[in-house]
Structure formats: C-alpha cells, structure tokens
Amino acid sequence: MTALNPVLDRLDKNLDQSLDRLFDLLKIKSISTDPAFSADCRKAAEWLVADLKSIGFDASVRDTPGHPMVVAHHDGPAGAPHVLFYGHYDVQPVDPLNLWHDDPFAPALKEIEPGRKVITGRGSSDDKGQLMTFVEACRAWKAEHGSLPCRITILFEGEEESGSPSLKPFLDANAKELKADFALVCDTGMWDRETPAISTALRGLVGEEVVIKAADRDLHSGEFGGAAANPIRILARILADIHDENSHVTIPGFYDGVEETPSQVLKSWEALGETAETFLGPIGLSVPSGEKGRSVLELVWARPTAEFNGINGGYTGKGFKTVIAAEASAKVSFRLVHKQDPNKIRAAFRKFVEDRLPADCSVEFHPHGGSPAIQLSYDSPFLTKAKNALSDEWPKPAVMIAMGGSIPIVGDFQNFLGMESLLVGYGLSDDRIHSPNEKYDLSSFHKGQRSWARILDALTR
Ligand SMILES: [Zn+2]
C-alpha cells in the first residue's frame, strides 16, 4: 500500500467539494489592473489564507504597496525536499462583457461536447483553477495522512496580470523566508489534451535601438545625392550583414554559450508532430526563415535570434519627397538561449555596427532591457521525477517543452532566490485566457490535482 493511492481516491471522491471551493474563489472579482477592484483583490487573498489555514498551513496576507501577497508554510518530514509553489489570484479584466456567453463571475460547469465538461468564468484557467489544483492535492494528502510529504511554502501573487510591480521588492525583502530547494510554477499549459508538459526553457531578450546619423540636416537628393552619405543606405547594409545566406547570425561571439539540444530531447520534440506546415500554415507561411537544418520547434525553443522590429528614416508620408535623411534608426531585438550573456550580446552588436560605420557618420545606441534565458538542466533529478509522475497520470507521456517568450517570475526566482523552477500546468490552448469565455477543462482541474499528488509523492523518493 503506497501513501499515494488513498490520496488519489480521496481526490476522486471529493471532486464536487473541490469544485465548490474553486467556484467560491472564482466569484471574487480580483481584477488587479483596475483600482475599482482593489477590495476584491484583498478579498481573494483573504479567502486563500483562510482556506490554507483550514488545511493546516501557517498562512498570512502580506501587504505590499500594491495588492497583497499570500504566503503560507507547512513543514514536512526531515530529508524531504522543500518546494515553493507559485500561482496568482488576480485576473484579467472581462471586457468586452457582451461577448461572454455566461457571467464571467458566476462560474458554472458546462458540457461543451459529449463527455467534455469545462469550468466557465474569468480566472478558471488563469490562474485560480490552476493554483487550486495544488491546494486540493495538499488538502487531500493532509486529510489522509495528517501531514504533507514535502516541506511546502506557497506564494500567491495578486499583480501578475498587471506587471508584478511589487514582486521583485517582495522577493528581495523576504528571500530567506521564501528560499526553497526549487519552485513549482503553475501558470502554463499542456502540449495537448492528452500530453502533459513541463516547460524547461524560456528564451531571454536583449532590446536595442540604433540610430545612424550623417549630415547635420535633411538634404535634397538632387543637390547632394551621390556625394553625401545616406544613413538609410548605411543602416540597411549593416542590418543585412547580421545574417548570412543560411540565416546564421554573423556577429562575432553571438553563439558563445549556446549549446546543442540533447538528441533525445530533439527526438521527443519531433514526436510531437509539429511541422513547418502545421506551425506556419495557420499564419499564411510555409518555409521556416531561421537557420537551415533545424525544425520549427527547435528554432523557436532552443535557438537564438536577431530580429528587426522597426525601422525608420527619411520621408514615409503620402506622396514622394526626394530627401536624403540626416538619420535613420532601427529597433533590434535578440532572443537568447542557454548561457548567452545579454551584456556581451549588446556589446558585440554595438561593435559590429561601429566596425561598419563609414567616414562622416556617427551612431547612437539606446538600450531597451535585457534578460538572460532560463534553461533547466535536463539531468535535474526533480525534473525526471516530475516527468515520470505526470506520465503516470495522463494518457501520453510528459514532454519537456520550451517557450519562445518569457515568464518573468522564473527569472526572478533565479535571481532573487537562487532557485530553479519547474513549470507545470494543465491549461489548454483553447482556454481563452485573457479573452471572453475563459474556461478550464474539468479534466485539467481533476487530473491536475491528481498530478500534483503524484509529483509530491515522487519528489520524496
Ligand atoms: Zn497567469
């Protein structure tokens, strides 16, 4: 008899009660970006504290200059890992309200196709439904065994949907209290309805604006053309130089710190069946524009990029003007992977431009943020345990996926608490988070609870 099975049975038996609790939380209009709902945000935090206390957590509402945090602690057996669980109780605004089929704050269970039930309402998926999967797993474990299998700290934020202004100062001020062996972040999705996913990599970002100047004023192209330097021409040539004919970035040192993805990981991505056709077809494209010989998933998950996001110079209004502009500018961004250093990338880009600058021209650079990539080590024992636990619960084995974009919380945990994060969530791509008619599949909510029980159990072994 394992410790796990009775917990799973209890979760099955108590699904209705767990739904009632989620509905209570979903009814609270905790829209963080609109000051009119400040009291509701506090109410959601207080609701969570009361619920966590009822399980036996030492929980409290913690004030910040914005909406409060919820912090809760529960001890665990000696030798078991200490995990920090993160979720957010705030939600996105609901407008346009007329596009909702149901009241966004009157959650309900709805059958959308035979055998498929969903929980409707704002926050059902992002992120109240998700965070409650973990709380329910803890509740069932505690009720069954009188204890929890791991030492657990919980952090619920109330400003995730409005830029998390209080998060960094809070992590900094409470680093000692919040530091754990690693974090579990539940704000992401499955690969598909049958395949659970752990996100193991997030690309970093460097933003840079480059301005090239030549003459001290705009010039008539008949009078000066041929003799005067043209900043648009110079900028275009330099930008074109950044990629070779194979879409490889030519900036010296750009690939320092980039590692090849292990072949078994590449194979598992291949098995997901995403092709150039399925990935690019829906946006009206067909041929991957990145480095040759790499799959679309590898290109967006595991390779760095240099992209031009905007370019400006000269006369761009209606009609025509024969002008040689005094300056031209471009906004350039780099998505980073693995151990690429944002500062070195920025410096290498600037040198690349300066090295190509002709006589009489000058250049200015304006930095626009920089953050390194996050890459979980593929051989982390926590990752393997969580992956196996998820594979036991769902019809198909868990896959380790990556994200082309960024989730700031993961970098913040790394920087302020020196902690890696496992991103596990049960959202689906049709959950319509941030949009009207948000929903969360009942199977996500139910099997999500069971998945956390399995993961907690696996982490102790
Ligand atoms: Zn979220």
DSSP letters spanning 412-446: HHHHHH---EEEE--B-TTS-TTSTT-EEEHHHHH
Two structure tokens written together for 47: 């609701």
How far is ligand 1, taken at its centre, from the CA of residue 188, in Å? 7
d(CA 47, CA 123): 15
d(CA 125, CA 128): 6
What's the one-letter identity of residue 351?
Answer: K
How far is ligand 1, taken at its centre, from the CA of residue 190, in Å? 14
How far is ligand 1, taken at its centre, from the CA of residue 80, in Å? 29
How far is ligand 1, taken at its centre, from the CA of residue 31, in Å? 12
Lowest mean pLDDT among 1-10, 188-197, 308-317, 407-416: 407-416
How far is ligand 1, taken at its centre, from the CA of residue 96, in Å? 19
The domain ranges of the chain are 4-202+375-459, 204-258+304-371
Helix (H, G, I), strand (E, B) or coil at 338: coil
Two structure tokens written together for 40: 């509701």
**Residue 404 reports pLDDT greater than 80:** no
What integer is the mean pLDDT of 103-107? 98
Two structure tokens written together for 312: 């400006």
How far is ligand 1, taken at its centre, from the CA of residue 310, in Å? 29
How far is ligand 1, taken at its centre, from the CA of residue 407, in Å? 10
Query: Residues 103, 419: contact at Cβ < 8 Å?
Result: no
Two structure tokens written together for 54: 């009822």
Closest CA to 193 of 447, 422, 388, 387: 447
Closest CA to 310 of 366, 354, 362, 246: 366
Residue 457 exposure: Cα atoms within 13 Å on the Cβ side: 23
How far is ligand 1, taken at its centre, from the CA of residue 32, in Å? 12
How far is ligand 1, taken at its centre, from the CA of residue 279, in Å? 24
How far is ligand 1, taken at its centre, from the CA of residue 197, in Å? 16
Query: Residues 422, 182: contact at Cβ < 8 Å?
Result: yes
How far is ligand 1, taken at its centre, from the CA of residue 127, in Å? 5
CATH of 204-258+304-371, one of 3.30.365.10, 3.30.70.360, 3.20.20.220, 3.20.20.70: 3.30.70.360
Q: What is the pLDDT of residues 153-163, one digit of tens each?
A: 999 999 999 98
What is the DSSP pairing of strand 219-220 with strand 197-202? unpaired
Separation in Å, CA 145 to CA 48, 140, 364: 22, 9, 64
How far is ligand 1, taken at its centre, from the CA of residue 433, in Å? 8
Two structure tokens written together for 27: 């009814």
How far is ligand 1, taken at its centre, from the CA of residue 123, in Å? 8
How far is ligand 1, taken at its centre, from the CA of residue 128, in Å? 9
pTM over 0.85: yes
What integer is the mean pLDDT of 304-314? 96
Q: What is the pLDDT of residues 310-355, one digit of tens each?
A: 999 999 999 999 999 999 999 999 999 999 999 999 999 999 999 9
d(CA 448, CA 137): 9
Q: What is the pLDDT of residues 112-151, one digit of tens each?
A: 999 999 999 999 999 999 999 999 999 999 999 999 999 9
How far is ligand 1, taken at its centre, from the CA of residue 92, in Å? 9
Angle at 383 between CA 382 and CA 387, to 5 degrees: 120
What integer is the mean pLDDT of 389-400? 96
What integer is the mean pLDDT of 284-306? 95
pLDDT at 320: 96
pLDDT band, very low/low/confident/very high, at 424 (cuts 50, 70, 90): very high
pLDDT at 1: 52
How far is ligand 1, taken at its centre, from the CA of residue 343, in Å? 29
Determine the CATH number of domain 4-202+375-459.
3.40.630.10
Query: Residues 252, 344: contact at Cβ < 8 Å?
Result: no
What's the one-letter identity of residue 19?
Answer: L
pLDDT mean across residues, the chain: 95
Q: Which residues pair with 82 in a beta bridge?
A: 151
How far is ligand 1, taken at its centre, from the CA of residue 93, in Å? 13
Helix (H, G, I), strand (E, B) or coil at 203: coil
Query: Residues 261, 298: contact at Cβ < 8 Å?
Result: yes
How far is ligand 1, taken at its centre, from the CA of residue 352, in Å? 38
How far is ligand 1, taken at its centre, from the CA of residue 160, in Å? 7
Neighbours of ion ligand 1 (CB under 5 A): 126-127, 187
**Residue 288 reports pLDDT greater than 80:** yes
How far is ligand 1, taken at its centre, from the CA of residue 88, in Å? 7
Greatest mean pLDDT among 371-380, 406-415, 437-446 lies in 437-446
Q: What is the pLDDT of residues 47-88, one digit of tens each?
A: 999 999 999 999 999 999 999 999 999 999 999 999 999 999
How far is ligand 1, taken at its centre, from the CA of residue 90, in Å? 8
pLDDT band, very low/low/confident/very high, at 408 (cuts 50, 70, 90): confident
How far is ligand 1, taken at its centre, from the CA of residue 126, in Å? 5
How far is ligand 1, taken at its centre, from the CA of residue 186, in Å? 8
d(CA 350, CA 164): 31
d(CA 330, CA 210): 5
How far is ligand 1, taken at its centre, from the CA of residue 129, in Å? 10
